[in-house]
Structure formats: C-alpha cells, structure tokens
Amino acid sequence: MIQFSQDPQSLLQSDIRSMSQECEKVGGINLAQGICNLEIPKPVREGAKKAIDSGINHYTRYDGLPMLRNEIAKKMQEYNHITADPEKNIIVTPGTTGAFQATILSLLHPSDEVILFEPFYAYHASVLLASNIKPVFVKLRKPDWSFNPDELEKSVTKKTRAIIVNSPANPSGKVFSKKELEIIAALAIGHNLFVITDEIYEYFVYDGKTHISIGTLPHMQERTITLSGYSKTFSITGWRIGYCVCSEALKKKIGSMADLLYICPPAPLQAGVAQGIKELDDTYYDSLKKMFQAKRDKLCKALSAVGMAPSIPQGAYYILADSSTIDGKTSKEKALNLLYETGIATVPGSSFYNTKEGDNFVRFCFAVEDDILSDVCERLENFGG
C-alpha cells in the first residue's frame, strides 16, 4: 500500500527490487520483473551497430534523430491512427519512463491531483508522489476490470489536472474499450484535464482485441499526451528508447523539460530502433501477439490447475493470480512463501494497490522463453500437487 505522505524514494519499484534480490539469493526464476528477455529483432541490432560504426555517437537534438521521429510518425498514422508531424508533435525520450517524467514535471504542479486507475503501475504513482502530486485512485473491478463512471466523476476536484490511462494495463492486463475511453474523454473535456496515456504494451493485445489510442477520439488530440516505447516490443528494456506524441504547444513545454533532464536518448540506439520500425512489417507484430497469447494461455492453465485463479489478461504480459491458497497474511508474505516453496519470484499485489485489496493477488510476468515457462508450470504443478 502506498501513502501520499510516504517518502517516494522508498516506494520506487521497491517490491520488484526486493523480490528480484531474494530470487537471486535462492537461485529462483524471476517472474517479478517485466524484463522481456527474448531475442532482439535483427534490423534493430544491426541498425544500432551500424550507427556506432558510422559515427552516430553524439548528442542528438533534444527531441531525437529525424530518422526515428519520421518512422514514429508513420507508425503513429498506420497503427494508432494519429497524425503527428515529426518536427512539431514528437519527442524521442529515454524510455516511456522518460516521457512520463518529463510530462509530469512540465505540465503539473505540486499539490495538483491526478486520477489513476487502481490497480496501477507502481512507477506512475511513485513519479507523481516524488513530484508532490497527489494520485487519486479510481477502482477497476474484476472480472473485466471495469470502472464505475460515477466514481470516476466523483474523483474530480478543483485540483484535478490530469487522468492517466494505461492500456493495455500493467498489472491487470485490461484493454480499455472504445466505450470506456469515450467516458474518460468526456470527463477530460468536461473538466479540462490532460489525458496522459501510457501505451507501451500497444502491440500485446490478445483474443483479436484491437488497441485504441484515446488521442484518436474527437476533440482529444490537443489534450492527450500519448506515451510509448520499444522496450517491450523489441525486447530492449536496457536501451531506453521511448517517445511522447502531443500538440505543438505541449511539445515545447515537455521537450524543454526532457532536454533539461536527459539532453537526449542514446544516439546509436535511436538509429537501431528507427531501422527496426522501418524494416519490420505486420508479420513481426502479429507473431509477437500470437507468441505472447500462447505464453499467457500456458501459464493461466497451470495457475488454474493449482487453484491460483488467474485474471486472464486481454493485453500486456502480466497475470494477477489469486493468492488465497498461499500461506501468509499479506501478499508480501505470500510472494515470499511462494518463492521459497517453488523458486518462482512474483510481485506482491500490494505493490499495485492503495488498499488492502492487493493482498489477494500476486503478479506473474510471462515474458520469458518457453523452456523457462515450462519449468515454471512444472514447479507450480508440484506445488499444487
């Protein structure tokens, strides 16, 4: 559980870090951290190597290399249906995280309030708290993680400045429907709020669902800041390449903050990502979806079989599973007991909640190779049996 008064330094990813450390101690399998350790696509690797050899090793403009902004603009048009001018509307950032931080620091002020759906990505809450901005939580309810529009409306106060959307969502795997996005859009327009939308899992959508960017809804482009990145899509979490798409006026503000905070994202790695976007076609993204859906199904089946009922994610690559059959009072104790019993590290559900409700879950990440996943399923089977 997080508290507004809590020291933000102590919040930051602390459960994921401590579970990872504990996992290392016992030589376990780390399904706590959302590291996608699959193979990096060849054009991405080759593009970065070529860039280093050809001298793209220096500061770039604050908003990134033109070749990458051009590729992002094409991708935004084709995949997200958002028209973005590479000069006026796109900032390449150090990861989606960099885009999020620069957005928060440039557009919001201490003691502003921001609406955050719960369960939430802990980093979103922590960055807000570190900036002395108050997250106001609106509950997503199982089984489909829907929200109550009245509760959403009631969460707005005079201090509310923005709402954060994360679709597909970490940790719930929720993919917001068009109708839900329309409700959020109407609220944002009605109360003159920014919508900050983190779409990093935009390519990880299952069961034929479609990813919808809230910035495409009528009258939303001016107030929406669309954030995404290639950490997950290209398995390059350590490269730190993300971006922000926004209006020209907001680009000036967010861009100045990004420049102040980071100067620029790593130059040759920007070139690698540009080459990847350029050369990889739909077959790459389609096979990514298929591969991850199969991983999801495999882990969900194993969890169901041992009575750890999974909430079947519609997107992203995490599963919130029922922790009631695991020994322990809190989800932290349960996650540790599960680790000691099976050697599988998960994240306690309390990391994603501001209430005790998180104690009912542990979160599994399924972005791992198939042989590791088979090992996990076998360990779960032995644990249940």
* Interface region with ligand PLP, contact rule CB under 6 A, candidates 94-102, 135-143, 214-222, 268-276: 94-102
Segment contacting ligand PLP by CB under 6 A, of 21-29, 93-101, 264-272, 305-313 = 93-101
- How many whole angstroms from its chain centre is CA 182? 21
Position of tokens 């899509």?
Answer: 233
23, 345 Cβ separation under 8 angstroms: yes
Distance separating alpha carbons of residues 298 and 218, to the nearest angstrom: 39
| Tokens at 193, concatenated | 């709020």
Q: Does 197 bind ligand PLP (CB under 6 A)?
A: no
Q: Does 167 bind ligand PLP (CB under 6 A)?
A: no
Q: Is 266 in the site for ligand PLP (CB under 6 A)?
A: no
Which of 242, 266, 272, 315 contacts ligand PLP by CB under 6 A? Answer: 242
Site for ligand PLP in 303-342 (CB under 6 A): none
Contact string 200-219 vs ligand PLP (x = CB under 6 A) = x-------------------
Signed CA dihedral, 333, 334, 338, 341: sign only: positive
Q: Binding to ligand PLP by residue 96, rule CB under 6 A?
A: yes
User: Quick one: which of 101, 166, 311, 346 contacts ligand PLP (CB under 6 A)?
Assistant: 166
Q: Residue 240 corresponds to which tokens in the numbers above?
A: 């730190």
Residue with tokens 């995404």: 228
Q: Tell me how many residues contact ligand PLP (CB under 6 A).
A: 13
- For 46, the token pair is 């080759």
Return d(Cα 310, Cα 208) in angstroms, integer. 20
Give the distance from CA 239 to its chain's centroid.
16
Which residue, 344 or 365, is less far from ligand PLP as judged by CB?
Answer: 365
Taking CB under 6 A as the rule, does residue 95 contact ligand PLP? yes
**Distance of alpha carbon 50 from alpha carbon 65, whole angstroms:** 15
Q: Is 126 in the site for ligand PLP (CB under 6 A)?
A: no
What residue ranges bind ligand PLP (CB under 6 A)? 34, 95-97, 121, 166, 170, 198, 200, 229, 231, 237, 242
